Amino acid sequence: MNLGPLSRILPQAITQEDVVITHEDVDRAHDRVRVSAARAQRGVFSRFRLLWLLVGPGILVMLGENDGPSMISYAATGARFGIGFFIPFVILTFCMAIVVQEMTMRLGSATHRGHAELIFDRFGPFWGWFSMIDLSIGNFLTLITEFIAIRAGLGFFGVPPWAAIVSALVFLCLAVITHRYWTWERTLLAFAVFNLVFVPVALLTHPNWHSVGSALVTWKPLPGGLSQDTLIIMLADIGATVTPWMLFFQQSATVDKGLTTKDIGLGRIDTVVGAALAATAAVGTILATAPLLAHHMTAENFQAAEFAQALQPLIGRFGAALFALGIVEAGMVASVTISSSSAYAFGEVARRPHSLNLPMAEGKTFYSVLFLCAATAGAIVLIPGLPLVYVVLLVNVVAVLAMPPALVFLFMLANDREVMGDLVSPRWANILATSVVVFLTLAGVLFGISVIAPNMFVFLGGK
Amino acid sequence: MASKDKVHSSITSSDQELVLASLEPEQLAGLKKHLIPRRHLRGLEKFVIWSLRIYLLFMMVVVIYQVWTSLR
């Protein structure tokens, strides 16, 4: 058998007699056989087949993060600021996401352990529980917003709220019903590609491509001063691309898929392709709602469906329907990925079986957590009179604030030579990762100052 | 290692061979119950993670305050 980097600090495990081979192992082995067969062959077709077999976690995590609140944030950005500073800014945030997510893929491939598991083992339960609490709160709030998005998006077509929530939960059940990671991943990938529906919506608005090109090069026009509202939009856009659940999800999915150190190169391509697709959809959404600014429409309190309705006079019923469908798809895919992220993390911490390859009888805890998280969040959305709009606005801000502590653990793990061996992060990756932590922390501090000391915020250049 | 492994009753010997030939040892679900040894945190590392923990708790209070003022 091949040995990975972790074998050096798990010598007793290699010779243990109590290893139990499970159905999860058998399913993963079948997947690996196909990967080995594709790798053994030469030729361009075999290279593409190998790539096809190995892509998944990176694309899913990036398109999964283009979720309900993220698309609403991008829509709000386009409607309030039009074409300008925020287009290159959003692309920059996806570059940050690539830096961060590459580390999780590398960690998962090298250690075959999930992120929660590694934090608990390496740093102890004290810090492990802090990370789990951050993840649980963030995931649950985000899940609520996914169902808000699904409800609002399907509401555009006249679907009643209860039916929208039930259909989302049915979709969740269908996605995991085969108890096979491969099927789950491919089903979800097929749905996730519909995130690009925002691109044709953008084309229907006939964007000024000269302005788009100019914005990409010059980062102008600027938002017109740094007000607290502008800052919240900036934080929401950052939170729309880098959040704690992504770290846990991609590492767990990498492990569940069975990627090894040989697959790291193609895992990087998977992550970059995912970021490119997600950035395209994000920029498409900003371009799609930019005409609302030109037509002086106030979009401050818009939720998903209102954006579609406001766009209808400009791009017609078909375009507006596409926009609403895009919001539904964003919510549906993210509700599955985020529930899975919670279930993986719970299983890793509770030392219970945690894999989408588990038959129902062996994975009762895993599937129960997955369904319960989603069902509870869906039920909350149906409670009348709750101020859901605040949850939508703040969930991405909370995600940005929770990122620096999560990133420091990721940074330390990715540089831990005992578990990573020669696969520790290179210096340039550490410089980029440190820059991301500093940037996110400063953005959070600036937000804090704008709330509790507005005068100082003005002194610092805000308004 | 293969001869000593236990298997689920419904898993055949060919499945077992496939698993042992295709997966790295640490990929086996059964081996994941073994904890990875804990590492010692250095002073600077403790300072950074404590600082960021305090930062996060403080910022959560700011967010709750922001929500409260917005609702009012």
pLDDT above 70 covers a percentage of chain B that reads 88
Contact assignment for B29 to A13 by CB distance below 8 Å: no
Contact assignment for B6 to A112 by CB distance below 8 Å: no
What is the predicted pLDDT for the residue at B4? 44
Average pLDDT over residues B24-32: 85
Contact assignment for A398 to B60 by CB distance below 8 Å: yes
- Express each pLDDT in A376-415 by its tens digit: 999 998 988 776 666 776 787 888 899 999 999 999 999 9
CA distance A273 to A174: 26
Contact assignment for B29 to A355 by CB distance below 8 Å: yes
- Asked if the model's pLDDT at residue B1 lies above 50, the reply is no
Q: What are phi and psi of A158, to 5 degrees?
A: 85, 10
What is the predicted pLDDT for the residue at B66? 83
Higher pLDDT, B35 or A417: A417
Query: CB neighbours (10 Å) of residue A11?
Result: 9
Tell me the pTM: 0.91
Which of A16, A260, A418 faces B24 most closely, judged by CB atoms? A260
With beta carbons under 8 A apart, name residues in chain A contacting B19.
21, 25-26, 29
Q: How far is A10 from chain B (nearest CA, A)?
A: 7
Tell me which of A21, A354, A442 to substitute to probe the interface with B (most B C-beta atoms closer than 10 Å): A21
pLDDT above 70 covers a percentage of chain A that reads 91
Q: What residue ranges do the domains of chain B occupy?
A: 1-37, 39-72
Q: Which two tokens stand for residue A165?
A: 């929530």
- Asked if the model's pLDDT at residue A15 lies above 60, the reply is no
Which of A19, A390, A416 faces B70 most closely, judged by CB atoms? A390
Cα radius of gyration (chain B): 24
Banded model confidence at residue A117, pLDDT cuts 50, 70, 90? very high
- Express each pLDDT in A82-114 by its tens digit: 888 999 999 999 999 999 999 999 999 999 999
Contact assignment for A451 to B71 by CB distance below 8 Å: no
Higher pLDDT, A50 or A73: A50
Q: Which residue of A has its CA nearest to B39?
A: A122
Average pLDDT over residues A229-243: 85
Which of A6, A353, A405 faces B49 most closely, judged by CB atoms? A405
What is the predicted pLDDT for the residue at A244? 92
Q: Which residue of B has its CA nearest to A404?
A: B52
Q: How far is A232 from chain B (nearest CA, A)?
A: 11
Give the least confident one: A112-126, A239-253, B6-20: B6-20
- Asked if the model's pLDDT at residue A76 lies above 90, the reply is no
With beta carbons under 8 A apart, name residues in chain A contacting B53.
130, 405
What is the predicted pLDDT for the residue at A447? 86
* Mean pLDDT score across all residues of chain A: 88
What is the predicted pLDDT for the residue at A297? 60
Peptide bond into A207 cis (omega under 30): no
Contact assignment for A32 to B29 by CB distance below 8 Å: no
Q: How far is A449 from chain B (nearest CA, A)?
A: 9
- The set of long-range contacts for A123-129, using a CB threshold of 8 Å and a minimum separation of 24, is A123/A409, A123/A412, A123/B38, A123/B39, A123/B41, A124/B38, A127/A409, A127/B49, A128/A349
- Asked if the model's pLDDT at residue A225 lies above 90, the reply is no
Contact assignment for A21 to B26 by CB distance below 8 Å: no
Q: Which residue of A has its CA nearest to B21?
A: A1
- Express each pLDDT in A178-213 by its tens digit: 889 999 999 999 999 999 999 999 999 999 999 999
Which of B11, B38, B49 faces A122 most closely, judged by CB atoms? B38
- Asked if the model's pLDDT at residue B8 lies above 70, the reply is no
Q: Which residues contact A47 (CB under 8 A, 6 or more apart)?
A: none
Q: How far is B10 from chain A (nearest CA, A)?
A: 9
What is the predicted pLDDT for the residue at A234? 86
With beta carbons under 8 A apart, name residues in chain B contacting A445.
55
Tokens 């959560």, residue located: B60
- Express each pLDDT in B45-71 by its tens digit: 999 999 999 999 999 999 888 888 877
- Asked if the model's pLDDT at residue B2 lies above 90, the reply is no
- Asked if the model's pLDDT at residue A302 lies above 80, the reply is no
Q: How far is A212 from chain B (nearest CA, A)?
A: 34
Banded model confidence at residue B3, pLDDT cuts 50, 70, 90? very low
Three-class SS state of B36:
coil
- Asked if the model's pLDDT at residue A14 lies above 70, the reply is no
Q: How far is B14 from chain A (nearest CA, A)?
A: 10
Contact assignment for B31 to A10 by CB distance below 8 Å: yes
